[in-house]
Amino acid sequence: MFRIGISKTSIVVIISIIAIVSLCSCFIALTYANPLQNSATTIHSVTNINMSMYRNLVDRVKYLEERGYDTIYVQYLLLSAKYYYEKGDIDRALEILNKAIDELNRVELRPSLPQLNFTIARSTLYIDDIPSTWDFVPIGTVFALSKRGYLVYPRNDPKWKLSCFIILAIGHNREGEWFSYQGRLPLKPREGVFKPRVFIDNEWRILDIAFAGPLYYDYGEKFGYPTVYQYDLSGRILQYVMYIPRNRTWIHKIIDLESNRTLLEIRAKAIGVPMWIGRWNETYLVHGVYAREKGLDIWSGFWDIALMNATIRIDDTEKKFRGIFIFDRASHRVYYIKNAFMPLGLPLAFSCMVIYQENIVIAIANSVNPSPWDTGYSF
């Protein structure tokens, strides 16, 4: 796939992303045993924490999720309890754990959606749309809204594997210092816990902030414009991505709620034509071949490329940078495979790159089939 767009600055930047799906395809780092067979059993509150009990809760969550129940908030609470337990705050961990048990006893089925009809395309270069708010968050096609207001996959479509809300940025300031950033808003814990990564002061730093979902959606009542947002495992840090469609502006922030301090702020104005992977309800491309099962990973969505201004505050120091911002808004499905809950391994093999300089943007995505299997579809 190849796309050229137009920009107006003089900075020269090359951003390479090798196997981007590997960034967002990690899974929750908990050991699952055999699922509980009686999903109707009530679990009572506890007065102490032990790993056997914790694993039993995880087993039950997995059992219910695979049968169409919305367990994302319970998963978040379990991870939050684990977070506080490992920090040594046992009382807080126990409080959150009992809240998770209470929520687990009251889980409900996820909403259903109409059957998705689509084709696997050879190319989507003909698409030159400007992303709408529905392209940003396709509620009614990819996602449904839970009663708590966060995004869920429909219970009658078990083939959704992964949704990327990925941010990549690079730039520099007047002093010649370089800045780079990898951010992600996980949809749910099963799609991987993520800690933001920042390159500043000539070194990479992994921030001690862990996001795992749920990913809430605001139509504009809370933030003013369509926004996806979530809280870290401590409950003290908020991150969000906002989209203002009338001028194609993306705003990303990470905020410390206790101090009301913005740790990172990026404001980005999109340029040129987005790189379209496909339309959610029409076209998908092959992303890769799974290693453990005979099946494909297919995806749809878009990448938007923008000029950005970034402000970061670390160690009581504030620094400002200008540069390039890439927003990867894609969702992945399994194909030829019954459901996405199977242990599939990573899809192979994919690489991508964005090259930016004055008056030109080149976006490249490349998928190669390393297997002997003739899939019947173009890579």
Q: What is the pLDDT of residues 274-300, one digit of tens each?
A: 999 999 999 999 999 998 899 999 999
Residue 184 domain flag? yes
Share of the chain above pLDDT 90, in %: 78
Residue 39 domain flag? no
Residue 18 has pLDDT above 60, yes or no: no
pLDDT in tens, 235-272: 999 999 999 999 999 999 999 999 999 999 999 999 99
Residue 38 domain flag? no
Residue 224 has pLDDT above 70, yes or no: yes
| Region 201-211 average pLDDT | 96
What local confidence, expressed as pLDDT, does residue 354 receive? 93
Place of tokens 């924490």: 49
What local confidence, expressed as pLDDT, does residue 88 receive? 95
Residue 12 domain flag? yes
pTM of the model: 0.88
Residue 51 domain flag? no
More confident: 109 or 346: 109
Place of tokens 């870290």: 232
Residue 43 domain flag? no
Residue 2 has pLDDT above 60, yes or no: no
Residue from 251, 239, 265 nearest 304 by CA: 251
Residue 219 has pLDDT above 60, yes or no: yes
Helix-helix angle 51-65:90-104, to 10 degrees: 30
Residue 100 domain flag? no
What local confidence, expressed as pLDDT, does residue 50 receive? 78
Residue 17 has pLDDT above 70, yes or no: no
Q: What residues make up the domain containing 126?
A: 2-28+114-367
Residue 15 domain flag? yes
Q: Which long-range contacts (CB under 8 A, 24 or more apart) does 174-179 make?
A: 177/201, 177/319, 177/321, 178/202, 179/310, 179/312, 179/319, 179/321, 179/323
Residue 368 has pLDDT above 50, yes or no: yes
**Hey, which of 11-25, 49-63, 92-106 has the most confident mean pLDDT?**
92-106
What local confidence, expressed as pLDDT, does residue 31 receive? 29
C-alpha 266/C-alpha 186 separation (Å) is 18
